[in-house]
Amino acid sequence: MCQPAFRTVTNTITHKVLLMPRNTNATNTTSSYGWVERAFHWAIALLIVTALVLSKVAEEIGTGTDAELAQKVWVYSFHKTIGVSVFFVAVGRILWAVSQPRPRPLHQGWEAQLAAVVHWMLYSSLVLVPLLGWTAHAASSGFAEIWWPFGQGLPGIPKSAELSETLFGLHTVFVILLLGSLILHILGAMKHAVLDRDQTFARMWNGTDPGALAGDRGHALPFVGAMMIWGLTLSVGLFLIPGEEQAGASESAQADVPSVAAEAADSNWTVEEGTLSITVTQLGSPVTGSFKDWQANIDFDETPRADGTNGTVEVSVATGSLTLGSVTGQATGEEFLAAGQFPTALYAAVIRPDGDGYIADGRLSLRGADVALQIPFTLAFEGDTATMAGQAALDRRDFGMGETYPDESSVGFGVKLDIELTAVRTQ
């Protein structure tokens, strides 16, 4: 009894839809969507689903071997490229929509207002989510490039690990808003198709035109409601993103690495600010990160001493304080820095004149290995303040790092070390 009744209802609805006129034009009317807007709608739907699936797949791929790392980078690049495509398609749809008549809803009252709020949330999310992901990528260095010929950076977006982390955090929070909006949108479409049995879905599927519709073109209330939701989402996102000090402490705690502290050593200079960064190569692309927790004891005179040296320097670095983009965990893990087992790296050197600059000639103790390391650097003096810039090259194999990456197809052998600091004379 139920099956014939269900079949009768289904046939009736299908018959009614098929007999209704359709909009075969490119442009919209006040009661139907043209083929251009329908194409935008379904293209974005396909792209969004693809991007979400790729993101989940990439998260599940490990980094223990060359093949896994290469696969992870490839999937992330695919995800990012799809994300940028979503941004441009969404902007195109919005520009098209504002130039067209807006089909009026088949229902009025609270249902129409709620649907409008969801649509505003969707429109904003379709722009904000890929834009935040794109800017986070632009602020980072390397790892999983976007597949296009226009470069990886963006005007006005500096390379900054902290900025990238903040933008990526907001990207993640707004993905949740996007998912919530999509779920509400899909539930609404199902309600119209199953319970109301009207032409709401058919209008977007094949351009069905139900004819002249009563009602107005909408109110400002849905936009205001969506604005409040955007603001709440942004506030939650900023609240959840740890500050620089909290993030540094969290990273050190994850690796069970104590912070390095100033040692009682001869030092006549105090470091006021500086960066200690490294650049590695992954799949042919440079990836730059920095250590947040390090301490330098500097005993230096501009005039060479009796032994021909200008002094000494001792540097201690908390290896677990490294931030290296999305591969931070891998870099501080057992395969590379092994921060849990070797929480501190130590560098001790004498300083000698070297042409127009200086050179620190010493040894680096890292990950249980002790390796000779020379760091040429320059100094610029202004009163009792000195600005230092130095650079050196390391080989990860000298420290037993990355033994499961025997060649440079995934991870390069070379590591570039960059040091910049400003110090003030204390004696």
Structure tokens at 234: 């942004």
Q: Give me the mean pLDDT over the 86-105 stretch.
A: 92
Give whichever of 2-11, 19-28, 318-327, 362-371 has the largest mean pLDDT. 362-371
What pLDDT, on the 0 to 100 scale, is given for residue 93?
93
Q: How far is CA 31 from CA 96, 132, 219, in A?
A: 17, 35, 18
Single-letter amino acid code for the residue at 170: L
How much of the chain, in percent, has pLDDT values that exceed 70? 85
Q: Is the pLDDT of residue 239 over 90?
A: no
Distance CA(330)–CA(410), nearest Å, equals 13
What pLDDT, on the 0 to 100 scale, is given for residue 3?
56
Q: Give me the mean pLDDT over the 231-249 stretch.
A: 62
127 backbone dihedrals φ, ψ, rounded to 5°: -95, -45
Query: Which segment of 49-63, 79-93, 196-210, 234-248 scores lowest on mean pLDDT?
Result: 234-248
Q: How far is CA 326 from CA 17, 112, 279, 317, 342, in A?
A: 50, 42, 14, 21, 22
What pLDDT, on the 0 to 100 scale, is given for residue 217?
54
What pLDDT, on the 0 to 100 scale, is given for residue 119?
86
CATH class (in words) of the domain with range 257-425: mainly beta
Q: For the residues of 123-182, what is the DSSP string, one character each?
A: HHHHHHHHHHHHHHHHHS-SSS--SSSS-S--TT----HHHHHHHHHHHHHHHHHHHHHH
Tell me: the pLDDT tens digits for 345-396? 999 999 999 999 999 999 999 999 999 999 999 999 999 999 999 999 999 9
Tell me: the pLDDT tens digits for 145-189? 899 999 888 999 998 878 888 899 899 999 999 999 999 999 999
Tell me: the pLDDT tens digits for 182-236? 999 999 999 988 988 888 889 999 989 888 776 655 566 766 776 787 778 777 7
Band (421; pLDDT cuts 50, 70, 90): very high
Task: Give the global pTM.
Answer: 0.67
Structure tokens at 411: 């991870």
Q: Which residue has the higher pLDDT, 266 or 403?
A: 403
Band (245; pLDDT cuts 50, 70, 90): very low
Q: Where in the chain is the domain with CATH 2.40.128.110?
A: 257-425
Q: Is the pLDDT of residue 256 over 50?
A: no
Q: Give me the mean pLDDT over the 63-90 stretch.
A: 88
Structure tokens at 134: 């794109």
Band (18; pLDDT cuts 50, 70, 90): low
Q: How far apart are the first and last CA of the chain?
A: 98
